[in-house]
Amino acid sequence: MVCKHCGTTIPDDPDVHFCTNCGSPVPEKESGPIDPRPAADSFRYPQSFSAERQMKDSAHSEDGSGCLWGLLGFCIPIAGLVLYLIWRNDRPNTARSCGIGALISVALSFGAALIGTLIALVIVLA
């Protein structure tokens, strides 16, 4: 074959990857028509797999069960409620976590208030 860079004739040796004259990379012309298909396939599959996986991963991380969001909703029920309303459609799982956290927090607050009231009543009535 002939070097595209300097025009030097290079022996058609599969081991020769660089021009003997100028040192520029030699396009593997001989194996060209055979290689591209398997190469393209072997490239395409991992790429599509990784892309799919990345999408899944990002979707998972963006809309996972969201323990932290649940904790946030638990600590700040108002924020949990707001986030629930914001993410209700876009991130149903995360929104649910926020909402559940907020609900548990509110329920515990009510429970504590109720128990406190009962204790106060018992003390007052006793």
- Residues near Zn ion (CB under 5 A) are 3, 5-6, 8, 19, 21-22
Nearer to Zn ion, 13 or 62 (CB): 13
Nearer to Zn ion, 30 or 52 (CB): 30
- Bridge partners of 2, per DSSP, are 9
Q: How far is the CB of 18 from Zn ion (least distance, A)?
A: 8
Rounded CA-CA distance 117/121 in Å is 6
Which two structure tokens, joined as six digits, stand for 13? Answer: 């040796």
- What is the closest distance, in whole angstroms, from the C-beta atom of residue 29 to Zn ion in the complex? 14
Q: How far is the CB of 50 from Zn ion (least distance, A)?
A: 36
Which whole-number Å values give the CA distances from 71 to 66, 92, 103, 105, 110, in the listed order? 9, 16, 11, 9, 18
Written as six digits, the tokens of 96 are 């649910």
Q: Toward Zn ion, which CB reaches closer, 8 or 109?
A: 8
